[in-house]
Amino acid sequence: MRPSILRRLLRRVASTAVLGVVAATLSTVGAAQPAAAAGGLQQVTGFGTNPGNLQMYQYAPAGLPANAPLVIALHGCTQTANDYYTKSGWPKYADLWGFAVVFPQTTSANNSLSCFSWFDPAEDSRGKGEAASIVQMVEHAKQSHGSDARRVYVTGLSAGGGMTADLLAAYPDVFAGGSVASGLPAQCATSQAAASGCQTGPQKLTPTQWGDKVRGSYPGYSGPWPRVAIWQGTSDYTVYPANATALRDQWTDVWGIGQTPSSTDTLPGNTTRSIYNDASGKPAVETYSVSGMGHGLAVSPGSGTDQCGTTAAYFLNSICSTYYTGVFWGLDQDTPGGGQLPAPSGLQVTGVTANSASLSWNAVPDSASYALYRNGTKVASPTSTTYTDSGLSAGTAYRYTVAAVDASGTAGSTSPQVTATTTGGTPAQCFTATNYAHVTAGRAHTTGGYVYANGSNENMGLYNVFVTHTVKESPAGYFVIADTGCTPEVKS
């Protein structure tokens, strides 16, 4: 028997501990559903040699222009491509913003729970197995749709999230960005036996060690690196929140930007976003911590622009992660028919108060009005080149962009982003104490014998009186590790 066939047979009977013991009892969202949705999701065959034995499905809006972006969306264990197509919200934004989506699908022939094999070097490495099959799908879709090779993105849930991280590491020359939802850091496990350990608590590696796993996935590659969004529920007991911390450490290290966020803000669904900017001030890594959410993809059913998806097993009602991921990647900035007017120049913050931010920008000829966006959501349509955004929270950072709108109501290109931080609020404080004291004081919490900072979920090490850290609180209740350069300082 050929080794490749033997390996697949072994995977079929292997332990079901990998991302799915609970999944198998919660729903039957696998084989019972049709393989494709009529008139929407379409299967594609003959896309390549397909060494990973995967199936390719795709959705492309009618009239999709050339040079549009391309998104690859990977389902979780026990799911199908159709589940992800119907419940994740990606088709809505493909129609709204103009891009194609490929939905790879694995089956029980590869894994007993239809999980992507994020833990198998023969399947998740450059040029091998499932990873190679997915990249063949990318190349086929690029040729079929004339997609922009500079704007190819990959996202995935759970095991699909683990494979997403592996793809970003193995193919940084293919993917401009990624989004890992309830997933694992790249190359966390290299065997099925080690996979469950990653889920409940990945190795306690330094950011450099995590980054080395990415750099080692494509030796000699020096950038540019993908921009990575990380989504995690704080009550996820299938893939523990420590994985989001490891992912953050991994990709900020790859970017060389450190693990202290450039800013944080609060989003719908009890979600805290932490933004890590690159040297040019553009977000390179963003983490989204959804308070109280379990294991799944965050969705928010509704008709609003920032609402999407359908609730079901592993599609959890809190916030539309697909919308915020698309905005992070910039998919909303190139809608069909847009771009006739150039981006306004000179956007700047002219003043702030505790609850408002004032902005101004340079006029764009032939514009009828402007569209002002706060944190990626349109908040105003002023006709002048100044605007004061009110009703804000004190001591909070807000990101703004602006676009010119022509007489037909079509928005042009979006300006570079600026950040306005309102005054007031609780001043930033720094606390130096043992891990035990931080937990006792309510600045951190414990999971599996380790301590994690409240808010950021940064791993602070073992729960004892021997490890000491300084943490900074800003905004109130949100703590980050700040062992150097943090003032004023409180010893406690």
Does residue 158 have an active-site annotation?
yes
Q: At residue 327, what are phi and psi to the nearest 5 degrees?
A: -65, -40
Q: Based on the fold, state whether residues 471 and 375 are members of the same structural domain.
A: no
Q: For residues 113 and 76, what is the distance between their CA atoms, to the nearest angstrom?
A: 9
Question: Could you tell me the residue range of the domain that residue 35 belongs to?
Answer: 3-333
- What would the pLDDT profile of 366-425 be if each residue is shown by its tens digit? 899 999 988 767 899 999 999 999 999 887 878 788 889 888 777 777 777 788 888 887
Identified catalytic residue from 88, 147, 158, 318: 158
Q: Which tokens in the block code for residue 284? A: 């390179």
How many CB atoms neighbour CB 137 within 10 A?
Answer: 24
Instruction: Give the 3-state secondary structure of 424-445.
Output: CCCCCEEEEEEHHHHHHCCCEE
> Does the CA dihedral 293-299-302-305 come out positive or negative?
positive
Residue 145 falls inside a structural domain? yes
Residue that the structure tokens 């992912």 belong to: 247
Q: How many domains does the chain have?
A: 3
- Looking at residue 27, its pLDDT comes to 31
Q: Based on the fold, state whether residues 382 and 475 are members of the same structural domain.
A: no
Which CATH number goes with the domain that contains 372? 2.60.40.10
Q: Based on the fold, state whether residues 146 and 243 are members of the same structural domain.
A: yes
Q: Based on the fold, state whether residues 354 and 284 are members of the same structural domain.
A: no
Residue 90 falls inside a structural domain? yes
Q: Based on the fold, state whether residues 128 and 11 are members of the same structural domain.
A: yes
How many CB atoms neighbour CB 16 within 10 A?
Answer: 16
Q: Based on the fold, state whether residues 304 and 381 are members of the same structural domain.
A: no
Helix (H, G, I), strand (E, B) or coil at 433: strand
Q: For residues 159 and 295, what is the distance between their CA atoms, to the nearest angstrom?
A: 11
User: Looking at this protein, which amino acid is placed at residue 190?
Assistant: T
Residue that the structure tokens 């609060």 belong to: 266
Burial class (CB in 10 A: 0-12, 13-18, 19+), 144: middle
Q: For residues 324 and 373, what is the distance between their CA atoms, to the nearest angstrom?
A: 13
| pLDDT under 50: residue ranges of the chain | 1-18, 20-38, 335-339
Scanning 292-345, the segments in alpha helix (DSSP H) are 321-329
Burial class (CB in 10 A: 0-12, 13-18, 19+), 25: exposed
Q: Based on the fold, state whether residues 256 and 395 are members of the same structural domain.
A: no
Residue 343 falls inside a structural domain? no
How many CB atoms neighbour CB 120 within 10 A?
Answer: 24
- pTM of the complete model: 0.67
Closest CA to 286 of 317, 347, 329: 329
Region of 35 on the Ramachandran plot (φ > 0 left; ψ -120 to 50 alpha; else beta): alpha
Q: For residues 272 and 298, what is the distance between their CA atoms, to the nearest angstrom?
A: 13
Q: Which residues contact 202 (CB under 8 A, 6 or more apart)?
A: 184, 185, 188, 242, 243, 246
Mean pLDDT of the chain: 87
- What would the pLDDT profile of 48-91 be if each residue is shown by its tens digit? 999 999 999 999 999 888 889 999 999 999 999 999 999 999 99
Residue that finishes a domain, picked among 333, 357, 376: 333
Q: Based on the fold, state whether residues 258 and 365 are members of the same structural domain.
A: no
Q: For residues 95 and 352, what is the distance between their CA atoms, to the nearest angstrom?
A: 37
Q: Based on the fold, state whether residues 272 and 355 are members of the same structural domain.
A: no
Per-residue burial over 324-334, b if 16 or more Cβ lie within 10 Å, else e, is bbbbbbbbbbb
Which CATH number goes with the domain that contains 287? 3.40.50.1820
Are 289 and 457 in contact, with CB atoms under 8 Å apart? Answer: yes
Residue 317 falls inside a structural domain? yes
CA within 13 Å, CB half, 155: 27
> Does the CA dihedral 85-316-453-275 come out positive or negative?
positive
Q: Based on the fold, state whether residues 416 and 461 are members of the same structural domain.
A: no
Per-residue burial over 252-272, b if 16 or more Cβ lie within 10 Å, else e, is bbbbebebbbbbbbebebebb
